[in-house]
Structure 1
């Protein structure tokens, strides 16, 4: 039985739903649940009853097409109904989920929503700029690389508290981008390593 998403689960559980007509003339509500605290799998529900489980990336056959699901380190990256003619419809976040709460904020307070989105991009870009010299220093500290190319010392020396603050804010910014389905190869490059 599919239970509603509780406030204590908003960072660990997602549910997305879609209503699909069935061949008998009625309609069924299909839901996909993922949990970040468990195995990398998706669960499919029809009208609240579980009908299947699959490892991600997952594909579930439903009347009228298939539901494709995938997730990364920061959340769901794909949850779409794909019809036989190739059209796609993204499933809607269920009430109670972080994605749903973020969508409500966007609807009710568009200026605040835009401000949060811009802040997330700025944080990720700052982290990216600061990560490049530190990454080069780490790379050139390997003996094989140092012998061939020499070593590099980063000109950026952040105090420990600032480094941790930037890391934590980067994680929050990445989650913000994930729940609003925004992605850019440059902006989100700093978070790619966590998905490997």
Structure 2
């Protein structure tokens, strides 16, 4: 089971308190529901199913996930300022962030490949969905039928599908989200 651990230090009654959010992406073993826990200085204070909004001193913490990982984990202050929580260095997000800091060129290349894989996945899905939808009698009578110009072998379809999933997971580890890319291709 993969988990995300992100933290931020906020003042509570004049002293710094570490606020940590933990999300077990596989879900609660007993109920199967994905939940987030809010820890203050290492002690569990609140739990909620996702998406979650935890009230904290001077604001709240918003937590959302997608199928590929974390989508949002931010502190929103009462004055409207937003600050992203920092991933634990040992978590997948933390290791990805460290890799991006230590190897920016390689990280950029991986990011570009993940976007490319998602775009290919979305494009292929649209082509493959358009053909059977266009054959529904009322749609066929109105706009005609569509025959996909691509007839890919099953192994290539599967490989591109796995590539899209890998791209979605990589974007989830970097906490990147775009409604078109990530909602349509696995996150």
* CA deviations over 1:149-191 (Å, ceiling 9, x no partner): 4433212111111111000010001111222233344544641
What is aligned with 1:32?
A: 21
Q: Which structure 2 residue ranges, 5 or more long, are not aligned? A: 28-32
Q: Look up the SS of the partner of 2:94 in the other structure.
A: helix
What is aligned with 1:45?
A: 39
What is aligned with 1:91?
A: 85
Q: If the length of structure 1 is used for normalisation, what is the TM-score?
A: 0.83
1:165 to 137, 156, 159: 159
Alignment RMSD: 2.0
- Residue 9 of structure 2 corresponds to residue 15 of structure 1: no
What is aligned with 2:115?
A: 121
Q: Which structure 1 residue ranges, 5 or more long, are not aligned? A: 1-8
Aligned residues: 182
What is the CA–CA distance in structure 1 between the aligned matches of 2:182 and 2:56, rounded to whole Å?
A: 33
What is the CA–CA distance in structure 2 between the aligned matches of 1:177 and 1:63, rounded to whole Å?
A: 30
Would the aligned equivalents of 1:128 and 1:189 in 2 still touch at CA under 8 Å?
Answer: no
Q: Look up the SS of the partner of 2:90 in the other structure.
A: coil
What is the CA–CA distance in structure 2 between the aligned matches of 1:32 and 1:60, rounded to whole Å?
A: 10
How has the CA–CA distance of structure 1 residues 109 and 85 changed in structure 2, closer, same or farther, with 3 Å as cutoff? Answer: same
Q: If the length of structure 2 is used for normalisation, what is the TM-score?
A: 0.87
Equivalence map 1:167-186=2 (5 Å) = 167-186=161-180
* CA deviations over 1:27-56 (Å, ceiling 9, x no partner): 211111112211132111111111111122
